[in-house]
Amino acid sequence: MKNLIVITGASSGIGRATAKKFSSEGYPLLLIARRLDAMLDLRLPNTLCKSVDVSDIPNLKSAVGAAEAEYGLVDLLVNNAGYMNLESTAIQSPIEWQKQFDVNCVGLLNMTSVIFPRMIERKGGTIVNIGSTAGKNTSEFHTAYNGTKFAVHAMTEALRREGQPHKVRVSLVAPGLTETDLSSGTNNLNILNDREEYKANIGGALNAETVAEAILFIYQQPHNVCIRDLTIAPTGQIA
């Protein structure tokens, strides 16, 4: 059996597409998200699905332990769990700022803290963090979300430097506009309508499957090759 893959935010969007892609390649999986039914509905073989919030370190550890007992050590972690709420900073609730940082940044660190130390111990493994073009370019109404994704990019590079002496690869995938339900966290209809209009004007968004293929490509490189930063966006998207 191939090496164990862990994917957070696996119930929809990029996480769901990545789970299907890696399963089709014969990898055993640990899928983590809050919506258990959506993961179980995938009906993937050699897959353990756990309803765990990325804020819950004890249950993250328990989930990883259960998966490793069945499928062996984790060789790839895909930190994909994310939350986005777009709004004018003048009126956005501080609760929404906090939630975006808690999921996108602290959640990433929580999951990494469970797996990274053992990768260091055995001198091997790969971590792929899902960033965004929003971590490279700022946009109106994206202030808090931009902040979280810029942070993800910085943490990825710092983590790569920590992993390098121990042969642990750390990579960033930064998708542009992608067809997922991430925008469901936004309630402002004007912002959502503008987003849909922009999507139409550039000829459509990426498919989540395209991003999943990029993650697989990074992982399947020889272990002495680390693709540090892969930005992927619709051809019509400028920033």
Active-site residues: which are they? 145
d(CA 57, CA 34): 14
Q: Is 177 helix (H, G, I), strand (E, B) or coil?
A: coil
Structure tokens at 80: 């994909």
How far apart (Å, rounded) are the C-alpha atoms in residues 64 and 112? 11
Strands, E, within the chain: which ranges? Answer: 4-8, 29-33, 47-51, 74-79, 126-130, 169-175, 229-232
Nearest-angstrom CA–CA distance, 77 and 125:
8
**DSSP, residue by residue, 126-168:** EEEEE--GGGTS--TT-HHHHHHHHHHHHHHHHHHHHHGGGT-
Q: Helices 57-71 and 107-122 meet at what angle, rounded to 10?
A: 40
Separation of alpha carbons 36 and 201, rounded Å:
36
Rounded CA-CA distance 100/228 in Å is 24
